[in-house]
Chain A
Amino acid sequence: MTHTRIFLTNVGEAVLLAYRSARHLPTLPRQWHRVVEQCYLIGYTTLPIVSILTFFIGAVLALQSGISMKDFGARQFIGSLVGESMARELGPVMVAVMVAGRVGSAITAELASMKVYQEVDALVMMNIPPERILVLPRLLAVLIMMPVLTMTGNVIGWLGGALVCRYTAIISVDYDAYFQSLKQFLSVEDVLDGLIKAEIFGFGVVLIACNVALRTRGGPREIGTAVTRAVVAALIFVLFSDFFITKVLS
Chain B
Amino acid sequence: MSIPDPTSPAAASHQPVGIEVRGVGKRYGRQTVLTDINLSVRPGEIFVIMGPSGSGKSVLLRQIAGLETPSAGVVLVDGLNPTTPEARSRLTIALVFQAGALFNSLSVFDNLALFPTEHRLYDRATIRDKVMETLRMLSLENAARKFPSELSGGMKKRVAIARALMMEPQVLLYDEPTSELDPVMSATITEIIATLRKFTAVTTIVVTHDRDLALTIADRVAIIFGGRIHAVETPQSLRESRDPAICDFLHPAIDLEKPRFKQLELANE
- Partner-B contacts on A (CB < 8 A): 30, 110, 114, 117-119, 121-122, 124-128, 133
Given contacts A125-B67, A127-B89, A118 and B97 within 8 Å (CB-CB): yes
A7 CB to closest chain B CB (Å) equals 22
- In the complex, besides A122-B163, A127-B88, A127-B89, 11 extra interface pairs with C-beta distance below 8 angstroms are A117-B104, A118-B99, A119-B101, A121-B95, A121-B97, A122-B101, A122-B102, A122-B103, A125-B94, A125-B95, A128-B118
**Contact status B95-A119, CB under 8 Å:** no
Number of inter-chain CB pairs below 8 Å: 42
B contact residues, total (Cβ < 8 Å): 22
Cβ 8 A contact of A126, one of B67, B89, B167: B167
Q: How far is the CA of A128 from the CA of B92 in the complex (A)?
A: 12
**Residues of B with C-beta under 8 A to A110:** 105
For chain B, residues 66 to 122, give those with C-beta under 8 angstroms from any C-beta of chain A: 67, 88-89, 92-95, 97, 99, 101-105, 114-115, 118-120
Cβ 8 A contact of B118, one of A114, A119, A124, A133: A133
**Contact status B115-A126, CB under 8 Å:** yes
**Contact status B115-A121, CB under 8 Å:** no
**Which of B95, B101, B115, B119 lies at the interface centre, i.e. has the most chain A CB atoms within 10 A of its CB?**
B101
Chain B, interface SS category: loop
Closest to B97 in A: A118
B65 part of interface (Cβ distance < 8 Å): yes
**Contact status B114-A119, CB under 8 Å:** no
Q: How far is the CA of A133 from the CA of B92 in the complex (A)?
A: 20
Given contacts A126-B167, A127-B89, A121 and B118 within 8 Å (CB-CB): no
Q: How far is the CA of A119 from the CA of B99 in the complex (A)?
A: 10
Q: How far is the CA of A237 from the CA of B6 in the complex (A)?
A: 53
Cβ 8 A contact of A127, one of B67, B101, B104, B119: B119
**Contact status B167-A118, CB under 8 Å:** no
Would you mind naming 22 contact pairs between A and B with Cβ atoms under 8 Å apart? A110-B105, A117-B99, A117-B101, A117-B104, A118-B97, A119-B104, A121-B95, A121-B97, A121-B101, A122-B97, A122-B101, A122-B102, A122-B103, A122-B163, A125-B65, A125-B93, A125-B94, A125-B95, A126-B114, A126-B115, A128-B115, A128-B118
**Which of A117, A122, A127, A133 lies at the interface centre, i.e. has the most chain B CB atoms within 10 A of its CB?**
A122
A116 CB to closest chain B CB (Å) equals 10
**Residues of B with C-beta under 8 A to A117:** 99, 101, 104
**Residues of B with C-beta under 8 A to A126:** 114-115, 118, 167
Q: How far is the CA of A30 from the CA of B93 in the complex (A)?
A: 25
Q: How far is the CA of A39 from the CA of B25 in the complex (A)?
A: 45
Cβ 8 A contact of A119, one of B89, B103, B119, B120: B103
